[in-house]
Amino acid sequence: MTRLRVIQGGPERRKRRLPVDVQSMLAPAAIVVLSLKPVGGPPGDATAEQMDAVADLADKYSFGEIRVGHEQNLALPHVAKRDLPDLWKALDRIGLATPNVNLVSDIIACPGLDYCSLANARSIPIAQELTRRFANHDTANLI
């Protein structure tokens, strides 16, 4: 799933983007990648409520299947293309519709000193600042 195409819709195109696997574009279903990197938030974090909601969405749209990738993101395979707009709205309601998969703000970061006694630096604040700095998708797309 390294090559993604962004499906856009609605009047506010930049806010309504959902990363979908390019190889699934010819198939009746898509693989949707959920970013766990909100602007200014710790990368890879999700609340218990968000995870419960993702599990419910997986049951509804993805045959109950959720995949975790090394990019600290989640993937919902087998999503019918007709369900993409409804899935996006549901993800937006729970704060998991950040359209930054494979952009510079899609940062993979270890917890650093915040959670690891072996670390020698704090990496989460740096990752948070980078997501804020590159939150503008026009700028992020140039990099």
What's the pLDDT tens digit per position in 27-38? 788 889 999 988
Q: Give the span between the Cα atoms of 18 and 30, in whole angstroms.
A: 11
Of residues 135 and 83, which shows the higher confidence score? 83
Does this model's pTM top 0.85? Answer: no
Q: Where are the alpha helices (DSSP H) in the chain?
A: 48-61, 84-93, 124-133, 137-142
pLDDT at 43: 86
Kindly indicate the confidence band of residue 6, based on its pLDDT and cuts at 50, 70 and 90: very low
Q: Give the span between the Cα atoms of 143 and 124, in whole angstroms.
A: 21
pLDDT at 5: 42
Q: How much is the mean pLDDT over the chain?
A: 80
Contacts with 127 (C-beta within 8 Å, 6 or more apart), sequence order: 37, 42, 43, 107, 109
